[in-house]
């Protein structure tokens, strides 16, 4: 574990911060301005999202700076859904994503789930495979019609 990274619950008032991180993290992959605008709504986190009962939001701080976040939906059919995992571009490659996945796995296990399921950006698929994920299919993007994204399953132990 990286002792420079701490994970804490997100506060509803931090919704804009999380939305901004999600947008910058997605843009890291070099998508066009048009693509990013088409994805903006899907990348937006609301105060209601964070304060809701269905999905938990947690922030990773690296040396006390906000470095990324995750959102994990509660157990359905023996699995939790990783709704979001975004890392600030300056912190990519510093262990933030790996620690967030480890946290999500622990949360899912404690909740009684056997796996985490997620829809991955194609560019992030190698990361999810490296942390133990297996591609189990594809599903259509909520933002871009006709764009299919990898579906990944990560077992929690």
Which two three-digit tokens encode residue 46? 């609301």
Percent over 70 (pLDDT), the chain: 99
CB 58 within 8 A of CB 39: no
pLDDT beyond 60 at 1: no
143-156 pLDDT tens trace: 888 899 999 999 99
Exposed/middle/buried for 59, CB within 10 Å: 0-12, 13-18, 19+? buried
68-113 pLDDT tens trace: 999 999 888 899 999 999 999 999 999 999 999 999 999 999 999 9
Mean pLDDT of the chain: 94
- CATH class assigned to 5-155: alpha beta
CB 121 within 8 A of CB 151: no
């Amino acid at each position: 574990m990286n002792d420079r990274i701490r994970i804490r619950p997100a506060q509803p008032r931090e919704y804009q911060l999380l939305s901004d991180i999600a947008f910058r993290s997605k843009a890291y992959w070099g998508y066009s301005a048009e693509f990013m605008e088409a994805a903006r709504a899907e990348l937006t986190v609301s105060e209601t999202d964070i304060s809701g009962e269905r999905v938990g939001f947690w922030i990773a701080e690296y040396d006390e700076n906000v470095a990324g976040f995750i959102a994990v939906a509660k157990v359905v059919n023996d699995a939790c859904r990783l709704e979001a995992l975004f890392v600030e571009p300056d912190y990519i490659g510093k262990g933030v994503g790996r620690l967030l996945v480890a946290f999500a796995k622990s949360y899912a296990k404690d909740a009684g789930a056997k796996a985490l399921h997620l829809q991955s950006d194609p560019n992030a698929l190698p990361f999810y495979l490296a942390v133990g994920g297996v591609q189990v299919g594809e599903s259509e993007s909520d933002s871009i019609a006709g764009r299919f994204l990898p579906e990944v399953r990560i077992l929690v132990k």
